[in-house]
Amino acid sequence: MTAPVPSVVPARPDDRVGARDDAPTRDRVAASILENGPSTAAVLAERLSLTPAAVRRHLDNLIEDGLLEAREPQVYGARGRGRPAKAFVLTESGRDTFVQAYDDLAASALRFLSENGGPAAVAEFARRRTAELEERYRDAVQAAPPEDRANALAEALTAEGYAASVQSAPVGDQLCQHHCPVAHVATEFPQLCEAETEVFARLLGRPVQRLATIAHGDGVCTTNVPDPQAATTTVRLSTREDPAATPIGRTPS
């Protein structure tokens, strides 16, 4: 069960004029970036119904506090004229202000498991954990048409606290998780991310590729979901060429 997400920026002493009044809005700016991923100042201003000047003031304060950083945005396809606006993302310290339920306990338990059972034991634990997620998501995802299953999965993930969305890209849909309740633990134990990716492939009925993870310092966990028609063609070709090809969602024995 995912713990509710509290205010992003904790209350702190600040003698600047208007700081107390600005705190709730500063929280909204940071929370919007967490829930929607890397965002430009213009997008934040429109999303939160704030003036560009107000957004930039809050962004500057969050950067000064070490909770945000500015990055060059990812551009798919040809880049247009002019320099693209910077996107703002939460830093590790910024994410630390969110409740990461039982992180220390979970990490200690997995260390114990690794020391006594080795990496294979951690991988098996990760598969069992994600199997529970798969069971909860299966009906909702498989009830959707193949082309809508990524969106159905994003909705299920959001209900679990992952703030997920789907974005279109030339290489296929991008399933984005803007929040990860186990990010700190997954930094030390990437088996959690690997098992989750396997579950996505089984639920969607096609191979997927993890492009980025919050656990490795990226702003968003991003999984490429190829077009279902292209994925079907690829699988049929590979199976025809290699009778021993592994079916989708299954690992070689």
pTM (two decimals): 0.58
Q: How far apart are CA 125 and CA 121, in angstroms?
A: 6
Q: How far apart are CA 253 and CA 233, in angstroms?
A: 24
The fraction of the chain above a pLDDT of 90, given in percent, is: 44
What is the CATH topology of the domain spanning 103-241? Muramoyl-pentapeptide Carboxypeptidase; domain 2 (3.30.1380)
Task: Please give the pLDDT value at position 119.
Answer: 93
First to last CA, the chain: 33
Q: At what angle do helices 191-204 and 149-159 cross, to 10 degrees?
A: 140
Task: Please give the pLDDT value at position 243.
Answer: 36
Burial of 167 (0-12, 13-18, 19+ CB in 10 A): middle
Q: How far apart are CA 42 and CA 105, in angstroms?
A: 40
CA angle 49, 39, 14 (to 5 degrees): 70
Report whether 30 contacts 68 (CB < 8 A): yes
Q: What is the pLDDT of residues 90-111, one digit of tens each?
A: 887 787 765 554 577 788 899 9
Burial readout 5-14 (b: 16 or more C-beta within 10 A, e: otherwise)? eeebbeeeee
Q: What is the pLDDT of residues 194-238, one digit of tens each?
A: 999 999 999 999 999 999 998 888 888 999 999 866 544 443 333
Task: Please give the pLDDT value at position 104.
Answer: 76
Q: How does DSSP classify residue 146?
A: G
Residue range 19-96, CATH number: 1.10.10.10
Amino acid at position 216, single letter? H
Q: Looking only at Cα atoms, what is the longest distance across the chain?
A: 71
Domain ranges of the chain: 19-96, 103-241
The single residue listed with the structure tokens 């590790």 is 92
Task: Please give the pLDDT value at position 74.
Answer: 61
Q: What is the pLDDT of residues 130-167, one digit of tens each?
A: 998 899 999 999 999 988 999 999 999 988 878 899 99
